[in-house]
Amino acid sequence: MFSTEQSCWFIRKVVCWRAVASIAWAVLLLLPITAVFVILSRFSLLHPIQTFSECLSFLTCASAIFSLILMCGVIIMVGFLNLEYYTVIPTIACSKIALLGQLLHPRQFVNSLAHCIMGIIVAWCCAVTLGGRYETIGYPCTQGDGTDSSPQMCLNEYHLILLLAGAFVGFSHSLLAVISNINYVSFHTVQQYKYLRFKGSLPFVVKCSAAQALYSVRNYIVVYFFLGYIPKAWICKTLNLHLNSSVHPLDSIAGLLDLSLLYHQWISASFLLFTWNITLLLFRIFVTEVYSFPVQSSFTEDAHQCLPKVLTDKQPMILKFLALQDVALLSQHSPSRRCEVFSLSQPGGHPHNWNAISKECLSLLADLTQRLVAYHDTVATNGRAKSLSTGSERKTSSETSFTSATEDLMSPRPTLLLRTPASVFARFVVGTPHSPLTAPFTPDLDSPFASPALRRLTAPLDQCSPWFGTVQSPHIMRRAPKLWSTSTDSQVNGSPPASPASVPSPKQEPFKPSRLALFLRNRKEQVKHFLAKRVLIMYLFNKLPEASSQALFADSQAHIWALEGLSYLVQASFSEDQFGVIQTTLPSILGCMLILQEAVDRHFKLPHASSKPVRSASGMGDSTYKTLRFALRATLKTAIYRITTTFGNHLNAVQMSAEHRKRLQQFLEYKE
Amino acid sequence: MCSLALFPAPLACGQTTLCESNNELLSGTATDHRLKQDSSPLSLYFPRESLKLHCRTESSSKAAFLDHSETLWMRSAAAWRDGGLTGLLNEITNSNTEVPKWLSVSSGFTLALLRWFSSFHGSLFPHLTMSSENMLAEFSQVLNWSDCVVRAFAWHPHADKFAVALLDDSIKIYNPKSATTPTLKHRLQRSVAAVQWKPMCASALAVACQNCLLVWHVDPCSLSTRPSSGCAQVLSNPGHSPVTSIAWSPSGSLLVSASPMDTAMMVWDVASESCVPLQRVGGGGVTFLSWSPDSSHVLASTPSALFRVWETRTWTCERWPCVKGRCQSGCWSPDGSRLLFTVQGEMVIYVLTFGDTPGPQAAAVVADLSETTFNTADGDIIVGGEIHSLSWDPTGERLAVLLEGFTECFVRFSVSSGFVQGEPGAEPRMMQFHPNFQHGALLTVCWSSGRITHVPFYFLGAGVPHFGLSGSPSLPRPQERPADFANQSLFTELIS
């Protein structure tokens, strides 16, 4: 994966430096955080002044400095993992089994292991800091009844329980990270300075770290009560330590109900989670900072860093997102940069900048429209399966208009990738082999191309996606309970998913259903029927109600910026566009927005699409992706209104179909 | 500087202002005025008697039931739910016969400590000790809010319709083109302090309530007269109540809300129901918000003698300490280059000019509205006083000023000025200009009698080029002439 990322100047020059800066700040902040932790952990109400002098003397001793250096290493590691695992498009599990698949993914396993080890290291540092009974793992003791008092090393269980708590908290943190999509980096609508953003979200981080630590410690105590003897025995065996029988064991109710022990566990866990969350917060703040791309450059060697070129890049998603954000911001706030967008190329007089920007934005929107229409086709509103034949016959007028509109939009770019969330997910776990467990259980969308017209459209486009060939197998179950996704279908067909690109599409190969295939299909139906009755299986495989809708709009932040950018630019063009470069694209912009509006309206009529997600304010996971579809709907309407209020009745002169004109008239009369 | 001495004398008793034409305010007697007004569909009258009010609050309903002895646990749980920590402590202290002595004594001690601390905090910011109703009345832009039949009013920024919030906590939407007048009611819609329509949208209406913020989505094509409460989004944040002021960004993307209890101003992304608190030290709360029409600045005034002007690109703010009192009201010029504001305790209007140069250094006085005596046929009339609210019309030619006294005064920049008077006994409570009136400006005034009237000012704007598009929706005026208005000095600055 590094070979692909190294090639991109943006990752090298911007994202890496931003990550380094965020880690540096996190390391700098470590010192005050540790000081606070030391004071809180050693505080005694009766001797406040003595506490402070003790803390000061501790902070200057060698072991404290050593543990601080270790902590710095951990922070750097956490920062590196953040950089490695972050994503701007969340991965949304559409069923319980998909979530399980994500949790068991080898990449995730490595992450969990790393967090476990880092948890142990941090817990060791905490143990050193707490001092007293926690300090070492072994202590000299005299075993027996005094007659053969040979000095031995005994296991210090307080030390062990703290170390294991660190490992447990680290592990549970990494698991929760998957469930709450902690790696997802969202972009804020309010552009504040980094310091102010940090200051604003600091109380929240403190609160959620403390709460998460409390829950983790509670779970850990339960686990230790039941399973604590296993690590204890193992450690004793490997380190040749003895158990002191005169000391009360800690994996008992009386041992665990020690208030001071609980407090120290909780404060250590809070310290651990807080340092990690602060690193994550800083990373998010730094990486989502606005980057201002030049609209055009006078030097040709910088041309690849200019906005029109950068927008069309696909690979580092962060680059595309920042570029779109920059388009949205420049269209709102900076007249001078807008002027560059509207300018003409010096020899030739072509509006290259505007053409590139508008084409990219429009293709993004057309892509979303296509996704929505395809999704709507697979999920017939009443939830019944729709066979292929009826699908092709029942083609609504909107679809026809849509295909004609998208065809002319796409004709200049035959290599347009269809970014279904499935393929996005596949691309975002680059570096590890594509696990067959996780990918197939992505949203309903994986088999969307029901109507032949759409299939014709997409067939030549989707070459590089792993779904090529597999999605078009003719007997795809259309609708839930979708026990088996496409991978099993393809295995029935005899095409292993490992080499999908080599499989020719079924259109080309002469397809005759052999008796064996029929037999297999019947067996499969039987197995499916049998499994569908089992409660656990159904629980695991049932679609989560909102998830497919969320997955459909997972990358909608890009569409929101595209809509904002286009509409603000069109609004500004009313007074700023000297050469009329916008006017040539205005019909296609309006057409694209109106088609999308229709598709979005239809999507929101589906069950579960318009139900609001439960607001969960706990945890560091950013849940903005859950409401992106509502934001997109609002932005789309606002964007159309922005154009109609600016141009008013002038829009009657714009060429468009009668259906669109009718729709636009509704907007002109403020009736939408 | 402009002063009331330059004004023509107010009308005689019984006369009401009808409209402005040829730079003169025309008046008529009350009866023919009413006849004329009643024929127009947008003039409304809400008699106080017609509204069904909540006769008792929820806490007072306790007295209607028999006293019922519950266990201490039940009472403590109820006290915790109703009154929080202080309620719980109070309950434990009062029931000292049932709890151990050390518990009641320690809870009484804690309670006293809490009270002492909150009184200390309250002495820093006196408004924190007010009840939420009083706070709304104190900081609302409506004069005498708690006694007002019409509590809030908002024109739609593009279409010809408006929303009226009434004393009985319902909101009615009037549209001259449709026969249905939807009435919006919601369980949480109590003590409405402000309403505002979302720009660039036909249906969304934000309502500032006592405990939360509601955003209604009223489908303009729907024939329903009682939209269900499912049409309303509830936006709430702990500690952010009561909401006294709201402002949509002119581009329709963000909503800001302010509460005198909360030092943070909330910036809402309404669609995703998420908010970003913008917090600064000092002030003790935010009372009034106004977004400049070019969406580059937001005025946020605080309960102390301090207001802030936020810049909306990176959300940084300028602090403007006042000498005398808090900033009571403010309004922006249509191109967003000038801010007029008034300060409580002073009878003048100040102006701040924003431009390309880094910010203004000091505010200048543009108008002095101190008490002036007019000799009329009915005897001497004294007009003048503190200014409660300001409103600047979208063409930038007329400024309406609501005085704390009884008459509404109306200042005009171009040639002359005058007073707008209602029917005898009626006091103006609130006013707003129509956002896109074709023939000049249209001032809507809500009176204490429950009447809403519209006073048109017919004129041709000096700077506005008139396009040959009849019925064209509001054109983006700030962008049409960004330069000339900023360079042109105000009329009152010229004559000073």
Confidence tier at A633 by pLDDT (50, 70, 90): very high
Mean pLDDT within B198-208: 93
Residues of B in contact with A645 (CB under 8 A): 158, 200, 473-474, 476
Taking 80 as the threshold, does the pLDDT of residue A198 lie above it?
Answer: yes
Across the interface, of A188, A576, A648, the residue whose CB is closest to B473 is A648
Residues of B in contact with A671 (CB under 8 A): 202, 220-221
The predicted structure's pLDDT at residue B372? 83
Residue contact A200–B220, C-beta within 8 A: no
Residues B390-433 pLDDT 10s: 999 888 888 888 888 655 555 554 445 788 887 777 888 899 99
* Strand pairing class (B44-45; B316-321): unpaired
Across the interface, of B271, B276, B473, the residue whose CB is closest to A645 is B473
A67-81, B34-48, B67-81: segment of lowest average pLDDT: B34-48
Dist. CA A594–CA A570, nearest whole Å: 15
Complex ipTM: 0.86
The amino acid occupying position A201 is S
Taking 80 as the threshold, does the pLDDT of residue B230 lie above it?
Answer: yes
Across the interface, of B274, B316, B474, the residue whose CB is closest to A645 is B474
Residues A97-106 pLDDT 10s: 888 898 899 9
Dist. CA B58–CA B81, nearest whole Å: 14
Dist. CA A308–CA B127, nearest whole Å: 54
The chain B residue lying nearest A634, using CA atoms, is: B271
- Is B67 buried (19+), middle (13-18) or exposed (0-12) by CB count in 10 A? exposed
Place of tokens 């009840």: B131
Residue contact A633–B475, C-beta within 8 A: no
Q: How far is CA A252 from CA A228, A235, A269, in A?
A: 9, 18, 21
All residues at 6 or more sequence positions from A238 whose CB lies less than 8 Å from its CB, including other chains: none
CA-only gyration radius of chain B, Å: 24
The chain B residue lying nearest A617, using CA atoms, is: B274
Residue contact A615–B475, C-beta within 8 A: no
The predicted structure's pLDDT at residue A416? 36
Taking 50 as the threshold, does the pLDDT of residue A441 lie above it?
Answer: no
Residues A404-430 pLDDT 10s: 444 444 433 333 333 344 433 333 333
The predicted structure's pLDDT at residue B62? 60
Q: How far is B313 from chain A (nearest CA, A)?
A: 7
The predicted structure's pLDDT at residue A66? 92
Confidence tier at A501 by pLDDT (50, 70, 90): very low
Residues A554-600 pLDDT 10s: 999 999 999 999 999 999 999 988 888 898 899 999 999 999 999 99
Mean pLDDT for chain A? 78
The predicted structure's pLDDT at residue B41? 61
For an interface test with A, which of B234, B240, B266, B274 has the most A Cβ atoms less than 10 Å from its Cβ? B274
The predicted structure's pLDDT at residue B9? 76
Q: Give CA B153 to chain center in angstroms.
A: 9
The predicted structure's pLDDT at residue B38? 53
Dist. CA B178–CA B162, nearest whole Å: 12
Across the interface, of B220, B253, B270, the residue whose CB is closest to A671 is B220
The amino acid occupying position A169 is V
Query: Taking the alpha carbons of A487, A490, A494, A499 in that order, is the dihedral positive or negative?
Result: negative
* DSSP-assigned beta bridge partners for residue B194: B208
Residues of B in contact with A575 (CB under 8 A): 476, 479-480
Across the interface, of B270, B279, B476, the residue whose CB is closest to A574 is B476
Residue contact B220–A624, C-beta within 8 A: no
Mean pLDDT within B111-131: 82
Q: How far is A337 from chain B (nearest CA, A)?
A: 15
Structural contact between residues A406 and A457, judged by C-beta atoms closer than 8 angstroms: yes
Taking CA A245 as the corner, what is the angle to CA A242 and CA A248, rounded to the nearest 5 degrees?
115
Mean pLDDT within B160-189: 91
The predicted structure's pLDDT at residue A380? 64
The predicted structure's pLDDT at residue B68? 66
A441-455, A532-546, A597-611, B258-272: segment of lowest average pLDDT: A441-455
Dist. CA B158–CA B199, nearest whole Å: 8
Residues of A in contact with B251 (CB under 8 A): 332, 568, 638, 642
The predicted structure's pLDDT at residue A394? 40
Residues B24-57 pLDDT 10s: 778 877 566 555 555 566 778 888 878 776 654 5
A306 secondary structure, DSSP code:
S
Task: Report which of residues A646 and A387 the model is more confident about.
Answer: A646
Closest CA to A670 of B156, B475, B41: B156
Residues B327-349 pLDDT 10s: 999 999 998 888 999 999 888 88
Structure tokens at A29: 């902040």
Structure tokens at A449: 């191309």
Mean pLDDT within A635-639: 95
Mean pLDDT within A104-130: 93
The chain A residue lying nearest B202, using CA atoms, is: A670
The predicted structure's pLDDT at residue A216? 94
DSSP string, A430-478: TTS---TTTGGGS-GGGS---SHHHHHHHTTT-TTSTTTTTTT-S----
The predicted structure's pLDDT at residue A410? 41
- Strand, helix or coil for residue A482: coil
Q: Is B130 left (phi over 0), alpha (psi -120 to 50) or beta?
A: beta
Residues of B in contact with A333 (CB under 8 A): 313
- Which secondary-structure segment (H or E) carries A155? strand A151-155
Structure tokens at A33: 């955080």
DSSP string, A180-223: TTTTB-PPPSS---HHHHHHHHHHHHHHHHHHHHHHHHHHHHHH
The predicted structure's pLDDT at residue A639? 95
The predicted structure's pLDDT at residue B292? 93
Confidence tier at A402 by pLDDT (50, 70, 90): very low
Dist. CA A82–CA A70, nearest whole Å: 18
Residue contact B274–A190, C-beta within 8 A: no
Q: How far is B241 from chain A (nearest CA, A)?
A: 19
* Strand pairing class (B204-208; B194-197): antiparallel
The predicted structure's pLDDT at residue A408? 42
For an interface test with B, which of A187, A188, A189 has the most B Cβ atoms less than 10 Å from its Cβ? A189
The predicted structure's pLDDT at residue A452? 39
Taking CA A226 as the corner, what is the angle to CA A224 and CA A230, rounded to the nearest 5 degrees?
75
Confidence tier at A244 by pLDDT (50, 70, 90): confident
The predicted structure's pLDDT at residue B70? 73
Residue contact B474–A634, C-beta within 8 A: no
Structural contact between residues B306 and B319, judged by C-beta atoms closer than 8 angstroms: yes
| Of the ranges A225-239, A435-449, B68-82, the best mean pLDDT one | A225-239
Dist. CA A657–CA B408, nearest whole Å: 52
The predicted structure's pLDDT at residue B477? 38
The predicted structure's pLDDT at residue A120? 95
Residues from B in contact with A at Cβ < 8 Å:
156, 158-159, 200-203, 220-221, 251-254, 267, 269-274, 276-279, 313-316, 469, 471-476, 479-480
The predicted structure's pLDDT at residue A242? 81
* DSSP-assigned beta bridge partners for residue B310: B298, B317
- Strand, helix or coil for residue A238: helix
Q: How far is B480 from chain A (nearest CA, A)?
A: 7
Place of tokens 């009736």: A671
Q: How far is CA A327 from CA A291, A646, B241, in A?
A: 10, 20, 36
A622-631, A646-655, B61-70: segment of lowest average pLDDT: B61-70
Residues A122-142 pLDDT 10s: 999 999 988 888 888 888 887
Question: In the A/B pair of chains, how many CB contacts fall below 8 A?
Answer: 100
Q: How far is CA A3 from CA A6, A8, A12, A107, A526, in A?
A: 5, 9, 12, 18, 47
The predicted structure's pLDDT at residue A112? 94
Taking CA A438 as the corner, what is the angle to CA A436 and CA A443, rounded to the nearest 5 degrees?
115
Residues of B in contact with A634 (CB under 8 A): 201, 270-271
Residue contact B272–A192, C-beta within 8 A: no
Taking 60 as the threshold, does the pLDDT of residue A503 lie above it?
Answer: no
DSSP string, A10-29: HIIIIIHHHHHHHHHHHHHH
The predicted structure's pLDDT at residue A54? 82
Confidence tier at B58 by pLDDT (50, 70, 90): low
Mean pLDDT for chain B? 81
Residue contact B316–A188, C-beta within 8 A: no
The chain B residue lying nearest A646, using CA atoms, is: B475
- Which secondary-structure segment (H or E) carries A587? helix A581-604
The predicted structure's pLDDT at residue B216? 95
- Which backbone phi and psi does A489 adopt, to 5 degrees? -60, -45
Q: How far is CA A573 from CA A142, A294, A577, A592, A593, in A?
A: 88, 20, 4, 18, 18
Task: Report which of residues B172 and B176 the model is more confident about.
Answer: B172
Dist. CA A362–CA A324, nearest whole Å: 12
Structural contact between residues A162 and A209, judged by C-beta atoms closer than 8 angstroms: no
Residues A468-492 pLDDT 10s: 333 333 343 333 333 333 333 333 3
Dist. CA A229–CA B386, nearest whole Å: 78
Dist. CA A114–CA A108, nearest whole Å: 10
Dist. CA A279–CA A71, nearest whole Å: 12
The predicted structure's pLDDT at residue B476? 37
The full 3-state SS of chain B, as one line of letters, equals CEEHHHCCCCCCCCEEEEEEECCEEEEEEHHHHHHHHHHCCCCEECCHHHCCCCCCCCHHHHHHCCCCCCCHHHHHHHHHHHHHHHHHHHHHHHCCCCCCHHHHHHHHHHHHHHHHHHHHHHHHCHHHHCCHHHHHHHHCCCCCHHHCCEEEEEECCCCCCEEEEECCCCEEEECCCCCCCCEECCCCCCCCCEEEECCCCCCEEEEECCCCEEEEECCCCCCCCCCCHHHEEEECCCCCCCCCEEEECCCCCCEEEECCCCCEEEEEECCCCEEEEEECCCCCCCCEEEECCCCCEEEEECCCCEEEEEECCCCEEEEEECCCCCEEEEEECCCCCEEEEEECCCCEEEEEECCCCCCCCCCEEEEECCCEEEEECCEEEEECCCEEEEEECCCCCEEEEEECCCCEEEEECCCCCEEECCCCCCCEEEEEECCCCCCEEEEEEEECCCEEEEEEEECCCCCCCCCCCCCCCCCCHHHHCHHHHHHCCCHHHHHC
DSSP string, A508-576: TS-----HHHHHHHHHHHHHHHHHHT-HHHHHHHSBPTTHHHHHHTTTHHHHHHHHHHHHHHHHHHHHH
Residue contact A571–B476, C-beta within 8 A: yes
Q: How far is B268 from chain A (nearest CA, A)?
A: 9
Query: On the CB side of B262, how many CA atoms lie within 13 Å of its CA?
Result: 22
The predicted structure's pLDDT at residue A56? 84
Q: How far is CA B177 from CA A120, B41, B184, B452, in A?
A: 71, 10, 19, 18
The predicted structure's pLDDT at residue A515? 81
The predicted structure's pLDDT at residue B418? 80
Residues B267-292 pLDDT 10s: 999 988 888 999 888 888 999 999 99
The predicted structure's pLDDT at residue B16? 79
